[in-house]
Every structure is written in structure tokens, then in C-alpha cells.
Structure 1
Amino acid sequence: MTTHARDTAVPAAEMTVGAPTGRKPAEPVPRWAVRVAHAIPLCVLPSGLWRVALVLGLAGYDTDYEWAAWERPYVIGLSVVSEGLALLALGLVRPWGEVVPRWVPGLHGRRIPIRAVVTPAALGATLLMLLWAYAFLNQIFGFVEPNNESGEGGPTSGPAAWALWAAYAPLLAWGPLLAILTVAYYRRRRAADASALISR
């Protein structure tokens, strides 16, 4: 290895998960936060797969249901959008959640304001916790009665019911995990800004 190569090599101790290329952040991303960010899409994935199985007639119930023309695309689209929103949690631990990516014209390289990330993430976490808490409590206590021809909103017993609960139960973790990740992002960015001010 030449002298030039040794001078430009980045020590292993300075390599940080989620660090923008060519820059060492004042506050590294904790490993646990990276794991949480990757866990969120995995919590959403089972329900999306269950909806796909429902569209394909593999969910184990309502095989004779007559789908309207718009319903199948809507159900598939709901799965895709949900997984896409879940993947946005990775921005709380990756460089593109702190600095505008290079491919964005006119803004690339600029630091993203903390509030621009924390506000939608916090609102999303709150709405998710309220939504899924209500959805599961409604299944248990029946606040709102199902309204369809069969009188059932979903399977209530047997393997199909167990598959439904197993697929949707992980969604209860989406909101709390996102809230924890948002707080960690906020604290890390504030600490980084404070360190930058001190070093000036």
C-alpha cells in the first residue's frame, strides 16, 4: 500500500452505519436503531402478503366473493403503499434522511432540517398507533358492526382466522417502533448540531 493510499484510507473505527459518504458524523447511528428501522418493513410485510393471498383466493375464506372491478387493484395498491411507507423508516438511519440525495436537482447535498423529518414521522407514528389500536379493539369488542352481504368482516375461526391474526398482529408494533426511531433520530441530529456549534 502506498503512502497516499494509507493517508486516504478510512479507519474501521470511523466507519459509521448511515454516515454520508466521505464524512464522519458527530453522532453515529446506534446499531439498535438500524435493527429497528429494518424491523418496521418486516412488521408490515405479513399483512401485505395476506391481502395478496386474499386477492388470489388463497386466504382460506370468501372464495365465492365477487370482486368489483376496482377492488383487486385497490387491495394490491394498499399493500404496496403500506410497504413503501414502512420502508421510509430507513431514512431515519440512512444518509438520505439527513442530506438530500445527489439525484435531486437543485437541492442535492443540502442538509434536511430536523423538523422536516421529525414532524411527519411523529405524526405518522401517532396515527398508526391510534389506527391499529382501534382496529384490533374493534375486532375484540365490536365497536362497529361489519357491513356486507355475508355479515362477516373476516374469518372468525379456524386456520383462516389464525392466519389473519398472525398477519395483522405485527402491525401493532409499527407505530411504537417508528416513535422510538423518531426520538432517536431527533436526539442524534440535535447532538450532532450541538457538537458542530461547539467545534466552530
Structure 2
Amino acid sequence: MHGRTVDGAPRWGVWAAYGASLLVLPSCIWRIALGFGAPIGPIMADGADTHGDVPGWVPMWAYTILLSIVSEFLAFLGVGLVSQWGEVFPSWMPVVGGRRVPTLAAVLPASIGALLLILITSSRVSGFDTFTAPDGSTVHIEGWRLVLFVATYGPLLAWGPLLAVATAAYCVRRRRARSWPGQAPRHAAKAGAVAGGPR
């Protein structure tokens, strides 16, 4: 599903890209379970479970599924930094299909995304156990529910940094490919010329 890993991608960049795409899954599972009524969220003052605050016309289960799909899709895009489909636009895309992906077209959104993720996730560390109930009141998640919440949402703190690492690996690899397009490194070519010259 992820496609073939592109040749020359450093192992640390591959691990970062795949890690960023997979560490979103635990929070998605927690969110969907909550949307279907699992008793894993905050408890209101009257002892009832709360499932967050969403518009009344949106079913909670539909909201959590949609949000999880969007989150995982965005995380999955990071795999393109180390995959073949991140090097060449898929053939089914109009106009650009089959063409090589410009370096900036991948690096710019990935860098902005990494920065935003770092800012958003770090800003949520303070008060991470505080939720807004449907009636507008503030509730907290406690006990084993808090442990489960931290275990599933805590990994999101690494999403931004891992995406930044994968982006750096992409920049390094594309820069090398641009410097040595289909040929040996410059110093290697020079050594070969000296060795094969007149004696």
C-alpha cells in the first residue's frame, strides 16, 4: 500500500516517514471507539460519560471516523518522501502525471506541515486532560482513562519531528541526485580519468 521505497533513501529517513504515518493510528482508534460510545472519555459531574462537543446534526461516530480518515491520510502523505510515488506524479493525475515531482513541491508543504504539527501538539500539552462537554462545561479525564488517552495521543508529539526528519532526508537525497544525475560522483569521475589517462 505504501509503494516501493525509492532507491537511495537513507534508512533513518525511511523509519521517520513510516513512523510518522503509523503513530497516528492509536489516536484514531481511540477517537473512533469514543464516537461509538466506548466508556473511555471524561466523566461529567453527574457520572455520565461525555463524548465531546460536536454540532448536533453530526453523528458522533461519523465525525470521529471522518476526522480519523483525514488525520491518517495527512500522515500517510509523509511516506511519499521516501517512496517512488513521491518522486514521480502518478500517471492518472491530469497535466503533471508521469512528470518528476519538483523538490520544493514536496519540501515546502512538508516543512510547513511539520512546523504546524510541532506547534499544535506542543500547545496542547498544557491542559491535555481537559475537555469541553456537550453542555459547555469543562470536564477532565482521570484514572485509567487518562492512562489510555496518554498512551494513544502521546505519540502524536513525535509526528511533527518525525516528519521534519523525513523531509530533511528527502532534501539530502534530491540534492545529491541533482548534483550527480545518473553518473558517478565528481571526485570518483576525476579519479577514473587520471587512472585511465596517458602513461
What is the alpha-carbon root mean square deviation over aligned residues?
A: 2.6
Residue 20 of structure 2 corresponds to 40
1:132 corresponds to 2:118: no
CA separation in 2, counterparts of 1:59 and 1:48?
16
Q: CA deviation at 1:120?
A: 0.3
The residue number in structure 2 matching 1:178 is: 163
1:86 Cα deviation after fit:
0.4
Q: Name whichever structure is richer in helix by fraction.
A: 1
Name 2:33's counterpart in structure 1: 53
Structure 2 counterpart SS, 1:138: coil
Q: Supply the distance in 2 between the matched residues of 1:59 and 1:104 (Cα, whole angstroms).
A: 44
Structure 1 segments (4+ residues) deviating >3 Å: 61-67, 145-154
Q: Match for 2:10: what amino acid? A: P
Residues matched between the structures, number:
173
1:37 aligned partner, one-letter code: A
Specify which of 73, 79, 93 is matched with residue 90 of structure 1. Answer: 79
2:196 matched to which residue of 1? none
What amino acid sits opposite 1:69 in the alignment?
W
Q: Percent identity?
A: 40
> Which of 58, 81, 86 pairs up with 1:70?
58
In 2, the alpha carbon distance for the partners of 1:59 and 1:120 equals 37
Q: 1:149 aligns with which of 115, 128, 135?
A: 135
User: Gaps spanning 5+ residues in structure 2: where?
Assistant: 185-199
Map of 1:7 onto structure 2: none
In structure 1, C-alpha distance between the alignment counterparts of 2:140 and 2:21, rounded to whole Å: 24
The residue that corresponds to 1:118 in the other structure is: 107
Contact 2:39-2:49 within 8 A present in 1 as well: no
Residues 123-149 of structure 1, C-alpha deviation per residue, up to 9 Å, x if partnerless?
000000000000112337x8xx95753
State yes or no: 1:18 paired with 2:5.
yes
Pairwise CA distance, 1:158 = 1.2
Unaligned segments of structure 1, at least 5 residues: 1-16, 20-24
